């Protein structure tokens, strides 16, 4: 592979993040404590949520959210095959099942029509949660999805909506931020996300009971966290275990980074959108690509370039290789889950032919570089590489 001219992603840090980390180290308190508590309060205030719970990954947050919503053996969730595997495996870790709904033809979002088809067949009331995924920061049709959850809930079986908001901070709509539109939202602060703590995530909810359950379950099922035990006059060694919980808390060192990144989130968002405009202007008249879908509140975490295979004499992988050979750091979002051995073995009917939209998108999408500190010069290098590869492989 050629020398990288434009990396796929580069986190935006400066001396403020460094100082925040050093301040935590100097304090002598490294694990979850006051800094994390402050981060939670600031994040909740930003998105307008009653509760925010910091966790060590989006995956941990999804497991906690699903557990609180009743996912266990005999229960199930509905989600999309067009996502990272952790959205689905979170349910499996709890003993639950997964029903998959195809995405919409012209977007990467889960199709509400397909969701309802599954709900109509759920005569045993196994489904206790719908998990829409806001791919690349562009929101699913949350109004319809929440309406379906309400329509098919019963007094004995409430269907919750858990937003996988890993890609969608800060996605602001007229109804509120992504992650606050359902019952629970789960964000990611992984290294390549719109704001980062290196590893980490956040859960948001307005439901007091769900927040209490998730808060206790994220630290071994303990009724007191370490900060409370060592700063409260009550004996530090006294606590109770109310359930077999997990180890999902976020330490203060990472929360310190998160607090600084949160302050920069709006400027990061504006910078990404400037690059998106440059891309869109350059690609809009090319007949071998389809521009990414856009909608209200799109956070533009990723730039998903969809190739029109009818206009090219090569497949997506060969096209991607051309870009890599020109020094462009690219990625793929996503390899649809039905392509993986584990899921094919778990659900024999879980095959590409049953999810034509997800299959087509998965085969023909390339993720281009997009990050806050990306320069216009770097964007033009990417554009030139895309155009040259398209010209080389265009069907004559």
Q: Which are the catalytic amino acids? A: 193
Whose tokens are 């290098």? That residue is: 381
Task: Give just the sign of the alpha carbon dihedral 209, 213, 214, 216.
Answer: positive
The HSE-up count of residue 128 (CA atoms within 13 Å, CB side) is 20
Backbone angles phi, psi at 247, to 5 degrees: -120, 90
First-residue to last-residue Cα distance in the chain: 28
Measured between alpha carbons, how far is 55 from 3 in angstroms, rounded to an integer? 36
C-beta of residue 246 within 8 angstroms of C-beta of residue 222 = no
Measured between alpha carbons, how far is 331 from 320 in angstroms, rounded to an integer? 9
Tokens in use for 337? 């889950």
For 87, 201, 313, the CA distances from 78, given in Å and listed in that order, are: 10, 22, 37
Burial of 63 (0-12, 13-18, 19+ CB in 10 A): buried
For 136, 287, 360, 365, 371, the CA distances from 107, given in Å and listed in that order, are: 11, 18, 11, 12, 22
Give, for 176, the enclosing helix (H) or strand (E): strand 176-177
Measured between alpha carbons, how far is 283 from 347 in angstroms, rounded to an integer? 39
Partners of residue 141 on adjacent β-strands: none
Pairing of strands 289-290, 303-307: antiparallel
Measured between alpha carbons, how far is 199 from 58 in angstroms, rounded to an integer? 9
Measured between alpha carbons, how far is 373 from 280 in angstroms, rounded to an integer? 18
C-beta of residue 119 within 8 angstroms of C-beta of residue 152 = yes
Nearest of 64, 341, 83, 36 to residue 211 by alpha carbon = 64
C-beta of residue 305 within 8 angstroms of C-beta of residue 389 = no
């Amino acid at each position: 592979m050629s020398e990288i001219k434009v990396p796929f992603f580069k986190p935006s840090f400066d001396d403020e993040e460094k100082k925040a980390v050093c301040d935590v180290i100097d304090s002598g308190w490294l694990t979850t404590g006051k800094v994390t508590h402050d981060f939670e309060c600031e994040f909740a205030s930003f998105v307008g949520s009653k509760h925010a719970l910091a966790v060590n990954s989006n995956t941990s947050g999804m497991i906690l959210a699903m557990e609180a919503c009743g996912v266990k053996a005999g229960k199930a969730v509905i989600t999309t095959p067009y996502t990272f595997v952790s959205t689905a495996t979170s349910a499996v870790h709890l003993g639950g099942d997964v029903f998959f709904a195809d995405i919409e033809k012209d977007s990467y979002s889960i199709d509400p029509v397909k969701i309802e088809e599954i709900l109509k067949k759920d005569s045993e009331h196994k489904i206790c949660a719908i998990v829409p995924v806001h791919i690349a920061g562009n929101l699913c049709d949350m109004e319809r999805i929440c309406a379906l959850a309400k329509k098919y809930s019963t007094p004995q079986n409430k269907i919750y909506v858990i937003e996988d908001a890993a890609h969608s901070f800060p996605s602001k709509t007229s109804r509120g931020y992504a992650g606050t539109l359902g019952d629970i939202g789960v964000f990611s602060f992984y290294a390549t996300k719109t704001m980062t703590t290196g590893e980490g995530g956040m859960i948001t909810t307005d439901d007091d009971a769900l927040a209490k359950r998730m808060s206790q379950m994220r630290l071994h099922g303990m009724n007191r966290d370490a900060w409370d035990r060592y700063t409260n006059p009550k004996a530090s060694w006294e606590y109770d275990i109310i359930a077999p919980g997990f180890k999902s808390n976020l330490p203060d060192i990472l929360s310190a980074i998160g607090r600084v990144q949160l302050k920069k989130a709006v400027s990061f968002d504006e910078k990404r959108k400037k690059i998106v405009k440059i891309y869109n202007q350059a690609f809009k008249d090319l007949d071998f690509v389809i521009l990414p879908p856009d909608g209200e509140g799109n956070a533009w975490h990723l730039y998903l370039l969809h190739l029109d295979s009818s206009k090219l004499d090569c497949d997506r992988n060969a096209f991607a290789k051309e870009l890599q050979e020109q020094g462009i750091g690219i990625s793929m979002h996503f390899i649809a889950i039905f392509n993986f051995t584990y899921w094919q073995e778990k659900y024999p009917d879980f095959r590409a032919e049953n999810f034509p939209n997800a299959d087509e998108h998965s085969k023909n999408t390339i993720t281009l570089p997009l990050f806050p500190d990306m320069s216009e010069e770097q964007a033009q290098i990417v554009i030139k590489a895309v155009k040259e590869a398209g010209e080389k492989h265009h069907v004559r």
